[in-house]
Amino acid sequence: MSYQSVNPYNGKLLKTFEYLSDKQVEAALDGAALCFEKWRQTSFAARAAVIAKAASIMRARVDDFARPMTLEMGKRINEARGEVEFSSNILAYYAKNAERFLAPVKLHPTVGEAHMESSPLGVIFCVEPWNFPYYQLARVAGPHLMAGNVLMVKHAGCVPQCAIAFEKLWIEAGAPIGLYTNLLITHEQSEHLVDDRRIKGVALTGSAAAGRSIAARAGQNLKLSSMELGGSDAFIVLEDADLEHAIKWAVWGKMYNTGQTCCAAKRFIVVEELADKFLAKFQAALAALKPGDPMDEKTTLGPLSTESALVDLVRQVEGAISKGAKVVMGGKRIDRPGSFMEPTILTNIKPENPAFREEFFGPVALFFRVKNEEEAIALANDSDFGLGGSVFTRDIARGKRVASRIDTGMMFINNISWSDAELPFGGIKNSGYGRELGDMGIQEFVNKKLVRVASMEAPA
């Protein structure tokens, strides 16, 4: 077995990469641990020079980074360019703000003085997914490298060229050897890394199943971990919503990255008064999307990331139908070369249908009618996931009230603009724990140390 780079647009094998040997992994771990001892003593200004340089390289060579993304996992080229630019912004954000985020915090004890200070933990092991090949890396690299940690990263097996390009970025930016290490390794080697005493923390973005496995192993080793897992986000449309505005966000929220986004709009919960109009407009908008070469800027529907992803999703839809779900549109692969699936809408999904609890990772929307706001909130909360969600209403105060009652890590009112470098990202329930981005993202893998000074006698 090996890492394989396959173009999902045409099924062509681009390149293969062999796994690292155990000896190579051990040498890389030794190098990372050695690098940490120097990097932890490096000033914020010196760290920022490296991280900011990496950001400027990405910004200057957007297409060089975007093209491998499109070739390896089928992301439409305009979306790929946007991801590169956003990844650059994340790195620049932490280069600018990390020292302020980690500044000592003065406390006010009854006697003497005290403060909390932040210090890095060491080598952090990251396991990252394929759906955002650079963004997922930037949002761990920016904060944790600026905090003084070093990273070893196992990226997804289908995007090895992106993984290698990101590692080379750090070398070009002047990073010391061992600061950022890409690992082409097996799952077994990954587990051994979690066990290794030199690894001080584990960050994973992926499925709930992967999260349970890695989190359990980290827990057995009493190591800090952060888990950004799947989602089944509700897209709530109340009766007073601006329908045209909601439809535009519904299409983007469902179809961005061909629906392969953990916080995509997945469960469309529409109050009865607007349900028919919403469904008709939503269906028409999805039907207008045309499959094509993701390298072509005119293409509006790209392929799924891999053939296996397509096969699994079609099988999942068929399972939902077998348990009573109704197909409004789509449901099948598109009869053409490549891993393309029809935009799909399913309805009549009852709680006893497994689809009611599952995450559909692709261009599949689940549609629900509800009588009123209360039913919308109850249905939104009746989920094993709790990543994000959105509510559409002309009454902002009402939108805020609804948002406060939804059990998720993030809520959006009249938009689904998930990511900003300044906004913490993460969820609850089966969507994981911990936060990335914003001032919270840099706090995940630092030691919060209390330092107290007081002139007092020891108790008798």
For the stretch 126-181, pLDDT in tens is 999 999 999 999 999 999 999 999 999 999 999 999 999 999 999 999 999 999 99
What per-residue confidence (pLDDT) applies to 418?
82
Note the pLDDT of residue 453. 97
The tens digit of pLDDT for each residue in 87-117 reads 999 999 999 999 999 999 999 999 999 999 9
Active-site pick, 228, 358, 359, 373: 228
C-alpha distance from residue 187 to each of 128, 194, 217 (Å): 13, 11, 12
CA-based Rg of the chain, rounded to a whole angstrom? Answer: 23
* pLDDT tens-digit readout, 54-83: 999 999 999 999 999 999 999 999 999 999
pLDDT of residue 419: 80
- Type of residue found at 436: E
Query: Is 263 part of the annotated catalytic residue set?
Result: no
Q: How many CB atoms lie under 10 A from the CB of residue 298?
A: 9
Q: Which of 162, 262, 373, 444 is catalytic?
A: 262
CA 164 – CA 157 distance, rounded (Å): 12
pLDDT for the residue numbered 2:
80
Tell me if 173 sits within 8 A of 143, measured CB to CB. Answer: no
Q: Using CA atoms, how far apart are residues 96 and 131, in angstroms rounded to an integer?
A: 27
What's the one-letter identity of residue 291? Answer: P
- Give helix then strand counts, H and E, for the chain: 14, 20
User: Among this protein's residues, is 244 annotated catalytic?
Assistant: no
Other C-beta atoms closer than 10 Å to the C-beta of 433 total 17
The pLDDT value given to residue 303: 98
**Residue 16: what are its φ and ψ, rounded to 5°?**
-120, 155
Backbone angles phi, psi at 341, to 5 degrees: -125, 145
Q: What is the pTM of this model?
A: 0.97
Q: Which tokens in the block code for residue 428?
A: 């609850």
C-alpha angle 324-328-331 in degrees, rounded to nearest 5: 80
Neighbours of 219 (CB within 10 A): 13
Alpha helices in 263-395 (DSSP H): 272-287, 307-322, 373-381
For residues 348-360, b (16+ Cβ closer than 10 Å) or e, as one string?
Answer: ebeeebebbebbb
Query: What is the number of residues in the chain?
Result: 460
CA nearest 91: which of 151, 37, 31, 32? 151
Q: What is the pLDDT of residues 321-375, one digit of tens each?
A: 999 999 999 999 999 999 999 999 999 999 999 999 999 999 999 999 999 999 9
Tokens of 225: 């971990």
Does 1 have pLDDT greater than 70? no
| Mean pLDDT, the chain, integer | 97
Distance of CA 94 to the CA centre of its chain: 18
For 239, 359, 382, 400, the CA distances from 395, given in Å and listed in that order, are 11, 30, 24, 9
pLDDT beyond 80 at 269: yes
Q: Which domains does the chain have, with CATH numbers?
A: 3-229+431-451 (3.40.605.10), 233-413 (3.40.309.10)
